[in-house]
Amino acid sequence: MKKINVGLLGFGTVGTGVAKILINNKDILHARLGVDLNLKYIADIDTKTDRGIQLEPGILINDAARVIDDPEIDIIVEMIGGQGAAKEFILKAIDKGKHVVTANKALLASQGAEIVKAADKKGVELGYEASVGGCMPIIKSVRESLAGNKINSMTGILNGTCNYILSKITDDGSSFEDALAQAQAKGFAEADPTLDIEGFDTAHKLAVLNALAYGMEINLNDIYIEGISKITPLDIAFAWEFGYKVKLLAIGKYNGNSVEARVHPTMISLDNPLSNVNGSLNAVTISADATGDMMLYGHGAGMMPTGSAVVGDIADIARNIVSGSKNRIPILSYKPDAVKKIPVMPVDEIFTNYYFRFAAADRPGVLSKIAGILGKFNISISSVHQKGREIQGSVPIVMLTHTAKEADVKKALEEIQNLDVVTDKPVLIRIEE
């Protein structure tokens, strides 16, 4: 075999990065694989825009079906995104016996079970390293390097947009709106940033990671999701005073009979390695029984970092083609008959520590009223700051708690909010020690 033909669907930012690596590093890839990776076709509706890459005539076309139907194409790379045409093209490629590589985390999180089942039935490979964490080899690590481990938990910063915004607020004192505008200006955030800042993008990635780590069916619907749009510079400043930073975390924990799966702003200690992951960078910490704690760190998005992860999948599939190996590694890490339906623990059932901020009238006895209600619901206070300065006519009272149950916390905050001395809705941020 002299070459393996690749068909690329989608010539946007990441698709361009994939093409650049396949063309510019062709000799390196040949030296490592023993065959040429030949980019035979690129299909995109826009065949005119200059992407800064020189292509041979006839490579760039506007007909995806022609790429999928070509019997010489061995690997289809889907870089279109979304859940409509992308799913259709992936399933057609699989049906024709072609291996597929994608970075489409939204599609995998919501409809991945169907795609994986189709690939298993047809005996083809599905590569998706770039769907989580950009260039961080988190999927390869879980599927391969940690195959002998029982994974207990994963905690990750998996969205560069949110991390950039929180870093700007923390380090520069920017408002949320200004930090978001800067992220958009730098290309880290979309014009409509909802998927990022409200936590949905992070949840897509957590759904995929949970399936790999715990041998469970992909479950996006039951993940608790809370974004960063309500986080204020005031709370970030108070967090710093207590020795914490605020990060948007994806948290997956295996509890034996269920899995905690939640995405929300979280306070973490300044000595936690994740607290030093700033800007648009991503990181994931994994706790496993044999390895203990480990962390992966790197660029979670961008043309070349994400393109690198895609080409890594292409190279893995190429090696399997050359060696005649088939389904050497299960697509979701576990063999299909070993994948279980493990329930996701309702967020009301979790136990963690909490940060509360109350806006209260500056009167005697306010603190004792609030503390009394917390005690009524078995919530123990570990630290209290009552600031003397007024903010919009109210004094902020800030509390940290010992471990408490989420359901109890919600009941207590609802009762506290109804006190006549409390002037605004209480603020809650969970703490992971």
How many Å apart are CA 330 and CA 143, to the nearest integer?
8
CATH of residue 246's domain is 3.30.360.10
105 is in an annotated binding site: yes
161 is in an annotated binding site: no
User: Average pLDDT for residues 82-107, to the nearest whole number?
Assistant: 97
296 is in an annotated binding site: no
9 is in an annotated binding site: yes
Q: Is the predicted pLDDT of residue 324 greater than 80, yes or no?
A: yes
Active site residue 425: no
pLDDT at 408: 98
CATH of residue 401's domain is 3.30.70.260
68 with 41, same domain: the answer is yes
281 with 412, same domain: the answer is no
10 is in an annotated binding site: yes
pLDDT in tens, 360-376: 988 888 999 999 999 99
User: Average pLDDT for residues 202-225, to the nearest whole number?
Assistant: 98
> What percentage of the chain reaches a pLDDT higher than 70?
98
pTM of the model: 0.95
DSSP conformation letters of 406-427: HHHHHHHHHHHHTSTTB-SPPE
User: Average pLDDT for residues 86-91, to the nearest whole number?
Assistant: 98
Domain assignment present for 343: no
403 is in an annotated binding site: no
pLDDT at 389: 64
Catalytic annotation, pick one of 205, 245, 247, 253: 205
pLDDT in tens, 267-289: 999 999 999 999 999 999 999 99
Closest by CA position to 310, among listed 3, 49, 6: 6
Q: Is the predicted pLDDT of residue 1 greater than 80, yes or no?
A: no
Q: How many CA atoms lie within 13 A of 66 on its CB side?
A: 11
Domain assignment present for 416: yes
Q: Are 422 and 373 within 8 A, CB to CB? A: no
pLDDT at 386: 76
pLDDT in tens, 384-398: 987 656 666 688 999
pLDDT in tens, 5-38: 999 999 999 999 999 999 999 999 999 999 999 9
The H-or-E segment that residue 204 falls in is: helix 200-214
Q: How many CA atoms lie within 13 A of 409 on its CB side?
A: 26
36 with 177, same domain: the answer is no
CATH of residue 47's domain is 3.40.50.720
13 is in an annotated binding site: yes
Q: How confident is the model at residue 301 (pLDDT cuts 50, 70, 90)?
A: confident
79 with 48, same domain: the answer is yes
Domain count, the chain: 3
User: Average pLDDT for residues 136-158, to the nearest whole number?
Assistant: 97
151 with 39, same domain: the answer is no
27 with 81, same domain: the answer is yes
152 with 266, same domain: the answer is yes
Looking at residue 257, its amino acid is N
Domain assignment present for 224: yes
Q: Is the predicted pLDDT of residue 208 greater than 90, yes or no?
A: yes
Average pLDDT of the residues of the chain: 95
Domain assignment present for 69: yes
Dmax over Cα atoms in the chain, in whole Å? 83
Domain of 12? 3-137+303-337
14 is in an annotated binding site: yes
pLDDT at 32: 97
